[in-house]
Amino acid sequence: MGGCAESGSVPMYFERNDAYVIEAFRQGEFDYLEGVGEVCEADFFRALTQRKVLEKLAATYPSPCQKHDVPLWVYISSDISMRFHGVHPFHAFPYVVRSGGLVQAFGPQMGHRAVHPQTGDVSLRCEGFNEKNEYDRQTPCDPDYLRKMARRTDAQLLQAWFNRDVVGIFKQHHVFDREGIFIGDASYLFVPDNPRYEGSSVMLFDEHNHPVESQKLTPQQRARCTWRRCYKLVSLIHTNRAAEFFLYAGLVVTAGQDHECPLLYRLVEEFVRDQGRGVMKRLILDRGFLDGVQIGRCKRELGIEVLIPVRHNMEIFQDVVGLAQAEQLSFQPWAPSVSTPQPIPVHRPERIKKREEARQKTLAQHKAQVPTPDPKALSTQRVRSEVAAVNGLETFSTCPVPLHALVNREVYADGHLDYWVLVDTAPIRDPGRTRQEYGLRQTIEERHRQLKCFSDLESFTSRAFPLIVNQVVFVLLTYSLLQWFLLRISRKELNPKTRTLELLRPTLTVIVLYYQNYMAFLTPLQHQELVLTLSEPARKKILAKTRRLRRSLAHALDHARPP
């Protein structure tokens, strides 16, 4: 299945059928032809149209309008295309359309290339989606329409749409893993210190960007802290045990000062209500979400097993550490799993062997020049990790269900020990497996780093709260759809990578032939061979149609509006 385009509310689908279109071309029949760069974005949108994802997104979108001159699927795909390229100002939409694969994915009715009659510049000519255009369009829809649509969409309704309808579409396409592992997290989104950022908070942060309370700090500690304006993003993320994908399954954007704990458990409750029991089976959290009542409710009423660390000042921590210090627990060594290195080819060219030998010699020389480590530094190095389990604890008084503790002991070179404890609502049968499972939560930090650094998640170009929420929702929607797309094309190994889009941008130039609702992809040489082997009657028909298209495109921008 290929792209889609139509002036109505439901997109028209172009199915890829090379044999059918080529046979029609041999008979002298075709509708349109263009040369395109077959980039990842075009494939991405074709997958969305093939599975009717765009149609489903448009059918559920909380539009503020009663009448739509531009179909909702065009608005949604345009917004996704901007986030795909990491571009957030709406006035940059014409650049995205020209440089990306949006028009290529949806066929000639969405737009095609034309030569400007005055300047000779190659531009886009788009029909538009209503009868109100007095000028030839150079974008499928106006950038200001995208901005106004985003501004007018209610922020709460947009978040509810993502949490209920978008996640429901993911469920329809069977993207949730059978183990049902979800991770809850909260992250701060920092903005400039401008009070016009609607709904933002000013908070005190230490040098590691952790919030602190001023009255609890010494003057020296306070000197290293900074007041910063921020929002808070609370999110639910779905993954599997191998961390092969990361799919956002719920989000809330709120003021930075709002506590994340009740917001997260409300997301969990809404997820189970909307998607049903049994989809979320495992919830991994950090200690900021410690709430005995809610943990017990997840276990009893929602059927979710919760894994979470406890604080050092809690009785349950002191009890199990006391057992460990009294040598009442049986510890076993634990080490993180190591990925299998790529095998070295047995048969290597001689020059490759010599190059590797020289590299190893250089590494040995550098290693010999490294100064002897400081004994004090060596004494603080961790030499091994050990784990032990204690099942059936009831000393977390606010939690109505028994908890099971995983005691983690870190052993350092100078002999001192450090303890930290995880509690689990499920019995711990394999301590090493539980410790490995909790390691999934740490991968979320890398997800946030990717989105903030490479997708500019918090680079807000507007101070209006609806536009801030729009940017967050569509960045996370695009990210999640891309994760689904990579799974669908069996490229799941790219999901954990940092700059996924850069790894997916082949630039194969192809000729696209359109006929009726079908299209064919040909390399330039394949197209040239096809043209040179046409019969004489077919060649004349192709020539006549080509001349008509060329004359029409020559005047396609006679009334062009400046871009």
Buried b / exposed e along 5-29 (16+ C-beta atoms within 10 A): bbbeeebbbbebbeeebbebbeebe
Going 449 to 455 to 461 to 463, the CA torsion angle's sign is negative
Tokens 């949006």 sit on residue: 102
Question: Where is average pLDDT lowest: 92-96, 273-277, 372-376?
Answer: 372-376
Inter-residue long-range contacts of 189-192, CB under 8 Å, 24+ positions, other chains counted: 189/230, 189/231, 189/232, 189/233, 189/253, 189/256, 189/457, 189/458, 189/472, 190/228, 190/229, 190/230, 190/458, 191/229, 191/230, 191/231, 191/458, 191/460, 192/229
Q: Report pLDDT for 512.
A: 82
**pTM to 2 decimals?**
0.76
pLDDT tens across 30-59, in order?
Answer: 888 876 654 467 778 888 888 899 999 999
Please, which residues have CB within 8 angstroms of residue 170's CB and are 6 or more apart in sequence? 176, 247, 249, 480, 484
Burial class (CB in 10 A: 0-12, 13-18, 19+), 530: middle
Task: State percent of the chain over pLDDT 90.
Answer: 49
Above 60 in pLDDT, residue 557? Answer: no
211 DSSP assignment = B
Residues 149/257, Cβ–Cβ less than 8 Å: no
Q: Report pLDDT for 22.
A: 92
Q: Extract the tokens encoding 314.
A: 């809690």
Q: Report pLDDT for 491.
A: 56
Q: What is the mean pLDDT of residues 235-260?
A: 93
Q: Extract the tokens encoding 354.
A: 């010599």
Give the pairing type, strands 226-239 and 201-205.
antiparallel
Residues 477/166, Cβ–Cβ less than 8 Å: yes
pLDDT grade, residue 500 (50/70/90)? very low
Residue from 140, 135, 162, 195 nearest 62 by CA: 162
pLDDT tens across 164-184, in order?
Answer: 999 999 999 999 999 999 999
Distance CA 263, CA 259 (A): 7
Residue from 326, 322, 519 nearest 421 by CA: 322
Phi, psi torsion values for 312, nearest 5 degrees: -70, -25
Q: What is the mean pLDDT of residues 450-467?
A: 80
Phi, psi torsion values for 24, nearest 5 degrees: -65, -40
Q: What is the mean pLDDT of residues 136-154?
A: 86
Above 80 in pLDDT, residue 339? Answer: no
Element (H, E) at 222: helix 219-223
pLDDT tens across 505-551, in order?
Answer: 444 567 888 888 788 888 888 888 999 999 999 999 999 988 887 77
Q: What is the mean pLDDT of residues 432-448?
A: 85
DSSP class per residue in 361-389: HHHHHHHHHSPPPPHHHHHTSEEEEEEEE
Most confident of 10-19, 421-430, 553-562: 421-430
- Report how far Cα 293 is from the mean position of its chain's Cα atoms: 32
161 DSSP assignment = I
Report the mean per-residue pLDDT for the chain: 83
Q: Extract the tokens encoding 451.
A: 């989105």
Above 50 in pLDDT, residue 503? Answer: no
| Cross-strand partners of 412 | 382
* Cα–Cα separations (whole angstroms), residue 519 to 148, 184, 512: 34, 44, 7
pLDDT grade, residue 10 (50/70/90)? very low
Residue from 428, 429, 432, 482 nearest 455 by CA: 482
Q: Report pLDDT for 5.
A: 42
Residues 424/406, Cβ–Cβ less than 8 Å: yes
Above 90 in pLDDT, residue 162? Answer: yes
Q: Report pLDDT for 324.
A: 94
Q: Which residue has the higher pLDDT, 467 or 17?
A: 467
Residue from 294, 248, 234 nearest 269 by CA: 294
Question: Where is average pLDDT lowest: 265-279, 357-371, 446-460, 476-490?
Answer: 446-460
Q: Extract the tokens encoding 190.
A: 């920092």
Q: Report pLDDT for 333.
A: 94
Q: Extract the tokens encoding 203.
A: 């908070």
CB atoms within 10 A of CB 449: 13
Q: Report pLDDT for 212.
A: 92
Q: Report pLDDT for 92.
A: 83
Q: Which residue has the higher pLDDT, 411 or 453?
A: 411
Above 50 in pLDDT, residue 78? Answer: yes
Inter-residue long-range contacts of 81-88, CB under 8 Å, 24+ positions, other chains counted: 81/41, 81/45, 82/146, 82/474, 83/455, 83/471, 83/474, 83/475, 83/477, 83/478, 84/41, 84/44, 84/478, 84/482, 84/501, 85/41, 86/454, 86/455, 86/456, 88/456, 88/459, 88/460, 88/461, 88/471
Q: Report pLDDT for 67.
A: 85
Q: What is the mean pLDDT of residues 126-146?
A: 71
Q: Specify the length of the chain in residues.
A: 563
Q: Report pLDDT for 6.
A: 41
Q: Report pLDDT for 415.
A: 82
Burial class (CB in 10 A: 0-12, 13-18, 19+), 502: exposed
